[in-house]
């Protein structure tokens, strides 16, 4: 003992800093193991915190930036529900949700998906007042619930390790973060899609009626809120039922009730919504003759699919996650039900192909592709970096998974996977900051600045003719209702007709047309200036914006 003490003291005297470094390393190493232990015990708590932090950033910003027009439409419906609820009570207050009101088209009712999300937001507004932050908090809540259901479903199909790593990439994906806090129903749709699958799988395993009822409710939300889940949720549900019951599905009464009632409520809403369109002429473009959603000739274009693939790789999987997912696709499936995720991928791409133009323009149409694709990342990481307390290797299903050297192969791949994870974090942060957060700057938003002028120069209940193309962002930001026209439509006759419809002001910008498109045609700008200066007395008509009362032709 004395010799050992003397030796230890001597070592400390000769290498005091070396001993301290060794002690510090031991302490840090023990702390690291404690962190891993916490993650093993509370994976969802860790994942929820990881997902929450970036989604809370810039929560109070209004509807500017990426997809501002879609956010403005949704936020306008929520605000209109809220305003109308203050004027009506009882059954009439509830029935208003069957008639979603937009700010354009004179502020009329429009054919839309079932407005579950704006209805929920409007109810929150009753307690908080109308503010975008509360709408974003609703989105954030659905995003976190989606993460929970994703983790539980993958855990049910595979194990905790695959579930953890899949959900981790969901938490940090650039588009997942962004659409997990925008004023849009996308996070609600993704949550209800994955939740419907989770409870359906639970019902298949245990056949508890409550699970089937919950699955039905979540499926109904998905189908009513968007049309395309009929494909990318309906086909995977059918696949799971066939795997379990095979041809006996035709003898399962509960499955007949489940499917028929889902289709019935979906048909009932869209039939009702189409009647609104027939009455008002206002629609989001589902079935109208002039819709451009269904230009299927685009599907024959290599550029079309190349751009979709590039978008998926960069914005949905942050480049490095995409490479790992491709590796995961090569893993062998252990049972027929494991093909759920391939079926989900294929059905998601089929859904995109049904509405190719919308899918090409709007990246959130690929969100279900990301959801189904995350499990392939989870398989790779779950095999190499297990979170099981015993540190036992999971059987990932690779052809060599049963070989004695499989553990050594997994260990050799860990440095590469850790590097890919770090690079994914870096890439995701950069993409999210540059592509999504940078445009959400109110001081740099010309639409937001113009909206402030409109609020200052016009009465609160004034209706305006906005020269913003098809973008309703300006109407929402200015809290005004009115009509939307293209710059090419500005003429004395058009302004006179708008005045007869009830428009009191014409407003617009010489710098932008839509909130995201610059106004570059000098001849069109000159025409607007001539019309306003020749027949109106503008309140403002400078180098950047114009606000003028109507009617012009009468002056």
Q: What percent of the chain has pLDDT over 90?
A: 69
For residue 474, the model assigns a pLDDT of: 95
In-domain check, residue 114 = yes
Q: Are residues 14 and 90 in the same domain?
A: no
Mean pLDDT, residues 57-76 taken together? 92
In-domain check, residue 121 = yes
Q: Are residues 377 and 248 in the same domain?
A: yes
**Residue that the structure tokens 């007869």 belong to:** 500
DSSP character at residue 394: P
Q: Are residues 432 and 450 in the same domain?
A: no
DSSP secondary structure of 74-99: HHHHHHHHHHHHTT--THHHHHGGGS
CA–CA dist 412, 421 (Å, integer) = 15
Lowest mean pLDDT among 11-25, 68-82, 203-217: 11-25
Q: Decide which of 437, 454, 486 is a domain's last residue.
A: 437
In-domain check, residue 409 = yes
Give residue 35's domain range: 2-41
In-domain check, residue 51 = no
In-domain check, residue 418 = yes
For residue 193, the model assigns a pLDDT of: 98
501-528: pLDDT as tens digits: 999 999 999 999 887 788 999 999 999 9
Residue 466 pairs in a beta bridge with 484, 507
Residues near 320 by beta carbon (within 8 Å), at least 6 away in sequence: 420, 421, 423, 424, 427
Mean pLDDT, the chain, as a whole number? 87
Lowest mean pLDDT among 93-97, 208-212, 407-411, 470-474: 407-411
380-399: pLDDT as tens digits: 999 888 876 554 444 444 44
Structure tokens at 152: 């539980």
For residue 413, the model assigns a pLDDT of: 79
Residue 530: cis peptide before it, omega within 30 degrees of 0: no
Q: Are residues 451 and 431 in the same domain?
A: no
> In this structure, are residues 223 and 116 in contact, taking their beta carbons and an 8 Å threshold?
no
Q: Are residues 87 and 234 in the same domain?
A: yes
Q: Are residues 449 and 431 in the same domain?
A: no
Q: Are residues 360 and 395 in the same domain?
A: yes
Residue 3 has pLDDT above 50, yes or no: no
For residue 29, the model assigns a pLDDT of: 54
pLDDT band at residue 552 under the 50/70/90 scheme? low
**Residue that the structure tokens 């699958």 belong to:** 197
Q: Are residues 371 and 433 in the same domain?
A: yes
Q: Strand, helix or coil at 510? A: coil
Length of the chain: 555
In-domain check, residue 58 = no
Residue 326 has pLDDT above 80, yes or no: yes
Residue 505 pairs in a beta bridge with 464, 549
7-52: pLDDT as tens digits: 444 444 444 445 555 555 555 555 555 667 777 888 999 999 999 9
- Quick one: CA dihedral 472, 478, 481, 485, positive or negative? negative
In-domain check, residue 57 = no
Q: Decide which of 411, 437, 463 is a domain's last residue.
A: 437
Q: Are residues 407 and 503 in the same domain?
A: no
In-domain check, residue 55 = no
Counting the structural domains of the chain, the total is 3
Angle at 311 between CA 309 and CA 315, to 5 degrees: 135
CA–CA dist 285, 291 (Å, integer) = 5
Answering whether pTM is above 0.85, one says yes
Q: Are residues 16 and 144 in the same domain?
A: no
Q: Are residues 322 and 453 in the same domain?
A: no
Residue 429 has pLDDT above 90, yes or no: yes
Burial of 449 (0-12, 13-18, 19+ CB in 10 A): middle
Q: Are residues 234 and 297 in the same domain?
A: yes
Residues near 121 by beta carbon (within 8 Å), at least 6 away in sequence: 75, 78, 81, 82, 134, 135, 138, 183
Residues near 154 by beta carbon (within 8 Å), at least 6 away in sequence: 162, 163, 166, 167, 375, 378
């Amino acid at each position: 003992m004395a010799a050992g003490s003397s030796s230890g003291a001597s070592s400390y005297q000769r290498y005091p800093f070396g001993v301290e470094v060794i002690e510090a390393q031991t302490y840090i190493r023990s702390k690291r193991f404690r962190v891993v232990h916490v993650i093993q015990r509370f994976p969802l708590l860790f994942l929820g915190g990881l997902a929450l932090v970036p989604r809370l950033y810039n929560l109070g910003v209004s509807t500017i930036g990426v997809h501002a027009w879609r956010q403005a439409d949704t936020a306008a419906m929520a605000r209109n529900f809220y305003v109308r609820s203050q004027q009506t009570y009882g059954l009439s207050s509830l029935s208003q949700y069957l008639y979603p009101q937009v700010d354009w088209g004179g502020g009329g009712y429009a054919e839309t998906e079932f407005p579950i999300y704006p209805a929920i937001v409007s109810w929150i507004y009753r307690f908080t007042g109308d503010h975008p932050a509360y709408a974003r908090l609703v989105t954030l809540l659905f995003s976190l619930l989606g993460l929970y259901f994703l983790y539980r479903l993958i855990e049910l199909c595979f194990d905790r390790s695959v579930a953890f790593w899949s959900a981790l990439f969901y938490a940090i994906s650039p588009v997942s973060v962004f659409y997990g806090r925008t004023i849009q129903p996308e996070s609600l749709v993704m949550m209800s899609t994955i939740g419907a699958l989770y409870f359906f799988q639970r019902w298949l395993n245990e056949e508890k009626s409550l699970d089937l009822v919950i699955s039905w409710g979540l499926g109904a939300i998905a189908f009513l809120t968007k049309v395309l889940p009929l494909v990318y949720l309906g086909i995977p549900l059918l696949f799971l039922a066939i795997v379990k019951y095979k041809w006996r599905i035709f003898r399962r009464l509960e499955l007949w009730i489940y499917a028929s009632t889902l289709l019935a409520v979906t048909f009932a809403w869209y039939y009702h919504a189409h009647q609104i369109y027939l009455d008002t002429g206002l629609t989001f473009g589902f079935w109208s003759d002039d819709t451009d959603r269904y230009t299927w000739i685009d599907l024959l274009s290599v550029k079309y699919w190349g751009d979709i693939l590039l978008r998926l790789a960069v914005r949905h999987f942050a480049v490095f996650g995409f490479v790992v997912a491709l590796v995961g696709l090569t893993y062998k499936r252990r049972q027929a039900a494991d093909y759920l995720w391939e079926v989900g991928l294929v059905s998601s791409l089929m859904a995109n192909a049904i509405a190719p133009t919308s899918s090409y323009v709007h990246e959130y149409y690929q969100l279900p592709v990301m959801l189904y694709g995350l499990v392939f990342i989870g398989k790779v990481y779950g095999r190499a970096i297990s979170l099981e307390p015993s540190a036992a290797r999971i059987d990932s299903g690779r052809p060599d998974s049963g070989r004695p050297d499989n553990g050594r192969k997994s260990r050799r791949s860990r440095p590469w996977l850790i590097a890919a994870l770090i690079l994914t974090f870096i890439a995701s942060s950069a993409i999210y900051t540059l592509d999504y957060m940078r445009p959400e700057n109110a001081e740099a938003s010309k639409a937001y600045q113009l909206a402030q002028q409109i609020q200052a120069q016009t009465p609160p209940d004034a209706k305006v003719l906005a020269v913003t193309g098809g973008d309703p962002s300006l109407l929402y930001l200015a809290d005004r209702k009115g009509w939307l026209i293209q710059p090419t439509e500005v003429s004395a006759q058009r302004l006179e007709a708008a005045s007869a419809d009830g428009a009191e002001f014409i407003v617009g910008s010489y710098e932008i047309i839509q909130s995201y498109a610059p106004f570059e045609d000098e001849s069109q700008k000159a025409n607007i200036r001539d019309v306003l200066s020749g027949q109106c007395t503008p309140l403002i008509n400078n180098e950047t914006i114009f606000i003028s009362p109507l009617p012009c032709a009468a002056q």
